[in-house]
Structure 1
């Protein structure tokens, strides 16, 4: 997990965007690591030669562009050292000569380094400030202190450094040498980096870049030289590289052959085939004895607003420039909501509010279903944990449903089936927490948010109609679509990642299928039109990406005024997005009375589905409004043990 933090200025900060720490436990070999580094550190970073050429050609129109290039260049220069190693200035006489876990970089003098450094200094002074002279000069001073004292060429740096013994066995090998070293050389603390502030969001991000890069060289850079072993005095300091942690050590063992590479499955996927016969939608009134009645719907949103400016304020070094307005245009999202609560606490708040509004007591609940794709709670599952927290001594079923953005149609489908067996209310909770699973992946950061919704689905009185008319669920497709959204994804440091073209393809496929099925179903009695599609009052789609959904809806023959969106304010909350959007449709007056709603969902794993249901404003529970104080109290309670475990407890647990 990579949670956001709230700094002393009450601003959201995403530390994973700046510190460039990779999880080597999921990196199998050097080839995979090199691909990650090329994508995140090299793809957008200019070399020193590139920067000189741009200066010579007059390509920089602002200081910001130059500062950004310097920063990206320095992250690229440190692509292997900052991800894998801690740099420790060590007296030459004290340096271990024969350990396999202490390394010395072998370096090549920087070609035309003085010329490039001088050009950068002159270019900065010649350019006008972009926004704020003082902040831009502060950033430049930090970056230039690193860039201007660079001693080595960076184009062909090896990922795996030589050990000290290997360095000594390499004639003419050069490494860093610091004549005198102050062990108290000042560096920025993590708190100082998190608390960095600037009026302009782009400059705030650059300030953090510069502070992190400054910390990569905790010694007097002006006195650094490159020397051979024969030229190093006993009291000189060299820069010893030590693996950051045991996962890096294990990775180095794997790539050196000291430990075998982990086996990987390589079987090719089978070619997809159509089902032997179509899988029709379920017409609930005809298919089931017990009809479902929605008695309540409650929502809980994350207590922090992360707007597009916050995203820009946290720009990672691997991102291309993008303004807040450009994010809005690309996604239709202006703000998303984040929470510091654990996902289970978010679910619990929604569940309690839904139960209270329905008037149901917990002893009436026959099943608890939780639709989520972001729960890290496996044992006990989120649904069973929730059942225990609510005080349910026994249910017929408490189960998690991992159907991602199709969580509502999947959850409702299972709730209706449970009703047939238990003939008593079912609690359905749709909940997601994405904010700590995004890391530095910008596409995901732009889109996803945190939130929960809970519904009580109960048996309708005998002889009375229910609220759900049609249910349909889908899954699978071409492998590229099945794997279009991945979490955890080892290729992106286990962050959630979205492959846009494949997602768009699966949404287009399912949306066309859904429209075709609704067009073939007859309109309910007493409604205008020949088909169920023509009888739909409002479409509340999964809030994936407004720009994409509007385009695909138009391709399917739907008009924008038929669809309701709240994605501008909530972002994509996956399983929770449709029920929260239905709640907001009532709040915004898009639903003013009992309304026939078509609710399609589609997403990760090539899942999809829809519900056609009646939404009545009266079932909406008063909204639960979280505050930062609520999350602080919840964290304190979670940290307080309910009772100490004794040896007697352990014996009882194991049946002794």
Structure 2
């Protein structure tokens, strides 16, 4: 049976670094307050020429180069994002143009912070149908464009960036073993991002329609830990894998407290849980592929290692995926 194998990884980050000290001058907060509650020290903020599609294409190029695949060989590009450059065309279509991937069809997937996991699971389904496919799976965001910089509860959390994987088909034991994806739209108001007001007044919501991220942090925290633990446990049970057999868990990088609570609930030591939230903050759909690329290039993964991804995001959406490297 053929399954999706990650043949190459890549990531791209904006040049500008925004520190906690910088934020102290912008909003009523402090470095100590941010660090103690989130674990974030710095985040990257996009400037001119560093839009979502540009970052996504840059990450994609690196993944292609590692895999030794020419853009012209690509069959499909899927981008997980909630911050595309525009509503139409999709970010994926702009990436296709940028890479000159003339054979590939392309589309975006909106599952908030779970976008990369949803996209990777979808790529695996395509690969199982046709193992010859070469698929570029990307998570990319410029959340700085959707943050209210006067809201100290959210503006300290988010950053910009992109991560990518080149996915191909392969036989044997390696590759995408199992995934579990879930959603609960009834809780959307706890974490959401309104669209810009439309021209049809009858379709405008009566509540706050500011196109900025809105979040009830305590409630999101409570749901996130429980949901990700449940998703990981379901995948482990489905595959018969024990948590102690995992080489590395790469969780969504939202908050160090969430990550530590998840590790504690799963009984995992710190060295088995990858963390880079301190450097980049929450980059939504981009957090897992950026972290994966860092871990991969640092030599932390060897053939046949078991790697678990898990994420939780607005919607609510959440899930987990298990791969044999």
Normalising by the residue count of structure 1, what TM-score does the alignment of the two structures yield?
Answer: 0.45
Partner of 2:231: 514
- Aligned residue for 2:212, secondary structure, equals coil
Partner of 1:468: 176
- Aligned residue for 1:292, secondary structure, equals strand
Partner of 1:483: 189
Question: After superposition, what is the alpha-carbon deviation per residue over 1:522-562, rounded to whole angstroms, capped at 9, x for unaligned?
Answer: 54xxxxxxx34332112111001012331243245444343
- Aligned residue for 1:447, secondary structure, equals coil
Measure, in 1, the Cα distance between the counterparts of 2:220 and 2:175: 31
Partner of 2:95: 386
Measure, in 1, the Cα distance between the counterparts of 2:168 and 2:293: 19
Question: After superposition, what is the alpha-carbon deviation per residue over 1:359-405, rounded to whole angstroms, capped at 9, x for unaligned?
Answer: 1122321111011111142211111222233223343x411110111
Q: CA deviation at 1:584?
A: 2.3
Give the counterpart of 1:409 among 117, 122, 125: 117
Measure, in 1, the Cα distance between the counterparts of 2:293 and 2:103: 30
- Aligned residue for 1:347, secondary structure, equals helix
Measure, in 2, the Cα distance between the counterparts of 1:359 and 1:297: 11
Unaligned runs of 5+ in 2: 196-206
Partner of 1:578: 288
CA RMSD for the aligned pairs?
2.1
Give the counterpart of 1:456 among 159, 166, 187: 166
Measure, in 2, the Cα distance between the counterparts of 1:560 and 1:357: 28
Give the counterpart of 2:19 among 292, 304, 307: 307
Distance 1:592 1:379, change over 3 A: closer
Equivalent residues in 2 for 1:14-29 (5 A)?
A: none
Partner of 2:82: 373
Larger radius of gyration: 1
- Aligned residue for 2:57, secondary structure, equals helix
Distance 1:515 1:609, change over 3 A: closer
Q: Between the two structures, name the one with larger relative contact order (CA 8 Å, sep ≥ 6).
A: 2
Residues 406, 601 of structure 1: 8 Å contact kept:
yes
- Aligned residue for 2:139, secondary structure, equals strand
Residues 518, 532 of structure 1: 8 Å contact kept:
no
- Moved >6 Å (runs of 4+): none
Measure, in 1, the Cα distance between the counterparts of 2:179 and 2:255: 23
Measure, in 1, the Cα distance between the counterparts of 2:33 and 2:209: 24
Distance 1:298 1:612, change over 3 A: same
Unaligned runs of 5+ in 1: 1-288, 524-530, 616-656
1:431 correspondence with 2:123: no
Normalising by the residue count of structure 2, what TM-score does the alignment of the two structures yield?
Answer: 0.87
- How many pairs were matched up? 309
Distance 1:518 1:364, change over 3 A: same
Give the counterpart of 2:42 among 317, 326, 335: 335
* Structure holding more strand per residue: 2
Deviates more, 1:488-497 or 1:362-371: 488-497
Measure, in 2, the Cα distance between the counterparts of 1:488 and 1:468: 34
Partner of 1:295: 7
Measure, in 1, the Cα distance between the counterparts of 2:36 and 2:74: 44
